[in-house]
Amino acid sequence: MKLFKILSVLFVSVLLGGVLLTGCENKGEVIAVVNGDNIYANDFNNMISGLYGTSGDATEAEKQSIYESLINSKLIEQESKARKLSISDKDIDAYLQQVIAANGVASKDDFYKQLKDTYGYNKDFVDSLIKSSMEEKKLYDDVISKDVKIDEAVIKKAYDDNPSKYKMVEVSHILIAVDETQTKEVALAKAKSLIARLNAGEDFAALAKANSADTGSSVNGGVMTGYFGSDNTTYVPEFVAASVKLNKGEFTQAPVLSQFGYHIIKADDVKSSFDDVKDYVTEIVYGPIKEKAFIDFIDKLAKDAKIERKITFDLTKDEVDTTKQ
């Protein structure tokens, strides 16, 4: 579970925009050339195995998407260099420390060992992945700061029109799993009994440590680090909907059912004033505008670039129609 969270952090940028993976001794054949810079078969194959397992069980459309993401990544790398947006080893180390702290990994050595043991990825490979992801973020910020102008009046009006939409919570939870070892009925009865104990005054953190099936949060008393709002997609919808209804200090009086089992959720803190949620409102209002601006920027880089694609993909008619949309 912890390893999956680590890999999710690393690979999410692959799905959004692509990253260039290097650090492999045998790079294989050249599969694309972008403004004179090569992309190699190993870049592509390692991406496939990282996302779809060693069997590489991906559709032709998925493979094409990864291939194009590598080309975009090379364009981003080139543009970052042109703008002198460098990422240092110190930057990578600072990011790694954040990942380690968020996932409860013992050390950097342990982090690298998990990835090496599970996927065969060496340190250079992982560092290159992180560096490329950070380069993309730095270029994104640079482009957006110049191309998207934030209007404070628009942000304030959005908040005033619907303040409750922008409420943010930080929560703890207790998960009573429904699985092959515990039926839905048994899990529900256990969750209800824990709520009764909470209402009788028992400590939430202590009950989470002793009873929660979410091992990632239970060691910290059920704490889920970070604030989120109703638009959150990291957690399942049922969990989010119940969380944002709570006031500070409250916990759900009925177990919340999701695909994982029954949750008991406690609001550790709530942000709802404009000053507290201004950044959140800004991201909701301007997020889509920023994303479009960056996509348009990458599209222009691609249009102006000299790109030689050396492999093709055997897409079905449905896949071809989907890629055209």
pLDDT, tens only, 169-198: 999 999 999 988 899 999 999 999 999 999
Cβ neighbours around 79 below 10 Å, total: 19
What is the per-residue pLDDT for 103? 66
Gap between the Cα atoms of 57 and 311, Å rounded = 18
User: How do 168-177 and 37-40 pair as beta strands?
Assistant: unpaired
2 φ/ψ angles, rounded to the nearest 5 degrees: -65, -40
Whether domain 168-271 has CATH 3.40.50.10160 = no
Measure the CA–CA gap between 163 and 158, rounded to whole angstroms.
Answer: 8
Is the Cα torsion angle 211, 213, 219, 221 positive or negative in sign? negative
Q: Which fold has domain 2-149+293-324?
A: Triger factor/SurA peptide-binding fold (1.10.4030)
Average pLDDT estimate for 311-317: 84
The domain ranges of the chain are: 2-149+293-324, 168-271
| Distance from the Cα of residue 5 to its chain's centroid | 9
SS3 for 167? Answer: coil
- DSSP secondary structure letter of residue 36: T
**8 A C-beta contact, residue 270 and residue 247:** yes
Query: Is pLDDT larger for residue 50 or for residue 93?
Result: 93
> Which alpha helices (DSSP H) does 148-202 contain, by range?
152-161, 184-199
**What angle do helix axes 274-304 and 152-161 make, rounded to 10 degrees?**
120
Domains 2-149+293-324 and 168-271 share a fold: no
Average of pLDDT values for 4-11?
46
pLDDT value, residue 247: 97
- Which tens digits make up the pLDDT trace of 79-93? 999 999 988 889 988
